[in-house]
Amino acid sequence: MDLTTTYLGHTLANPFMPGSSPLADELDVVKRLEDAGASAIVLRSLFEEQVLAEEMATHEAVSASMYTSAEAASYFPDVEDFRFGPDAYLEHLRRVKAAVQVPVFASLNGVHPEGFLRYGRLIEEAGADGLELNVYAPIISPERTGQAVEEEVVQLVRLVKQGVNIPVAVKLSPFYSSPANLSRRLEDAGADALVIFNRFYQPDIDIEGLEVSRTLALSTSSELLLRLRWLAILRGRVGIQLAVTGGVHNVEDAIKAIMAGADVVQVVSALLQRGPEYIGQLRRGVELWLEDHEYESLSQARGSMSLDRVAEPEAYERANYLKILQGYRTSLAG
């Protein structure tokens, strides 16, 4: 079965890769992922806060340069709390590159365009085959318009693309009023791929301790549905490659993501729970499923359930919405 796919300038043997996370922190795990069939490796993000914290050496310096108050700086981890400082990150990237045959993609997570550009160049020099930009920034100012926020992302991508030669993917959040329009503009700005979608680790409130509690819950398959919807919408509306991240836990999830339009399937939670070898089971499972259902290749299935295949997508979306709400029957009446 031909499972090949194209992503960030590479022909990959299959669509499965670990998403940006600690999965690629240790070389032996990276090799196990490759041996199990991962077609690429994505490193965890290097955070702009890490770069600044190390450069300035003190936390106070971070507050001065990046955030306005000492209190703001105190929210952030200390230099030693980060898994890799910037130099160690680049060194780790070099070691991972030397250890595997498959492409290695690095990830940057920041706030300021200059930081993205500078480290994007260093990541390129260190040998990365591609760069994922995680553009997570909480916008809480009532003065900033959605249009301005989106324009900043577009400008950032344009800047990074002008400054580096390696392919660039943008890991987007679902919280834009018109993700399809933003995706088109990112494509025009030179982005090579979109990673759909960033997952947020939302703080909870400890009502007894009057504290904000931070927990990291791994995903479940239910999170895939939001991704499926937007993959299906974007496929055909933008020419850019699409990676799914969030909620892929089993073979059926992966098939759905591919049918919706994913070129690449990134997996994190399921691999953290079941171990790196599970990526091989997903790959084999998809292969068997396609054979059983008489597909000739993965590309035959890709996008087969996208909105692109529907005559009037907006009417279709609206009709589905109405049918679902109107079709619900309660059993509450006596």
Ligand X SMILES: Cc1cc2nc3c(=O)[nH]c(=O)nc-3n(C[C@H](O)[C@H](O)[C@H](O)COP(=O)(O)O)c2cc1C
Positions touching ligand X (CB under 6 A) are 19-22, 44-45, 107, 109, 134, 171, 199, 216, 218-219, 223, 245-248, 267-269
Amino acid at 56: M
Q: CB-wise, 136 or 308, nearer to ligand X? A: 136
Q: Are 71 and 98 in contact (CB under 8 A)?
A: no
> Token pair for residue 307?
């909105």
Nearest distance in Å: CB 21, ligand X? 4
Rounded CA-CA distance 13/220 in Å is 26
Q: CB-wise, 45 or 295, nearer to ligand X? A: 45
Nearest distance in Å: CB 108, ligand X? 9
Rounded CA-CA distance 189/83 in Å is 32
Q: CB-wise, 5 or 20, nearer to ligand X? A: 20
- Other Cβ atoms within 10 Å of 127 Cβ, number: 15
Q: Are 17 and 264 in contact (CB under 8 A)?
A: yes
Nearest distance in Å: CB 134, ligand X? 4
Nearest distance in Å: CB 175, ligand X? 15
Q: CB-wise, 1 or 251, nearer to ligand X? A: 251
**Angle at alpha carbon of residue 25, lines to 175 and 158, rounded to 5°:** 40
- Beta partners for 195? 171, 243
Distances (CA, A) of 27 to 88, 97, 292: 14, 10, 36
Nearest distance in Å: CB 208, ligand X? 27
Q: CB-wise, 254 or 295, nearer to ligand X? A: 254
